[in-house]
Amino acid sequence: MTSMSALWLPILLSSVVVFFVSSIIHMASPWHKTDYPKLANEDQVMDALRPLVTVPGDYMMPRPASMAEMKSAEFMAKVARGPRVVMTVMPTRETMSMTRELVLWFVYLIVVGILTAYVAAHALQPGAPFRAVFRFAGLVSFIAYAAALWQLSIWYSRSWGITIKATIDSLIYAVLTALVFSYLWPR
């Protein structure tokens, strides 16, 4: 077993590397440019929703109040009439700052690094071969980055294209995390 305290550098460095690479992927490349297309009637939809003062959160429409209501003819008519919607209402802001999200993303990257370090530290001894460290760190970090993404497409009809692209991003992040852990693994 390897001491967790010996892995603070790979935890932090992999978080920094993934943070910068993910920023490049999302801001400097066209890879995710088409993930969320603009509604043709965006202004009308926003104007219709604005007076409703919907509290920020996640919503599904139509949404039955119970299993019994879900089976009712009235509810089935709502479903048939459409549209069926899963939406996230975000807080309104004066400026388009992403500071909060970027800080939370970095915290998440550190958590993935800690989980990766924990599993690898319990599976591998100091001086473990590069390939063994790469395999453990890569698999654990890939699971952490990608596993939950598929549920959104399965249950909430999120675009499979977005999910597949995010899974590929996750693979890139996992390879980078695995490389950092492999090169900095205690000897």
Lowest-pLDDT choice from 14-28, 43-57, 112-126? 43-57
- Please give the Cα distance from 43 to 93 (Å, whole number): 17
pLDDT number for residue 41: 95
Is the entire prediction scored with pTM above 0.85?
Answer: yes
| 8-state DSSP, 4 | G
Residue-wise pLDDT for 90-106, tens only, equals: 888 888 889 999 999 99
pLDDT number for residue 92: 85
3-class SS at 175?
helix
Question: For residue 1, which of 134, 119, 117, 125 has the smallest C-alpha distance?
Answer: 125
The pLDDT of residue 162 is above 80:
yes
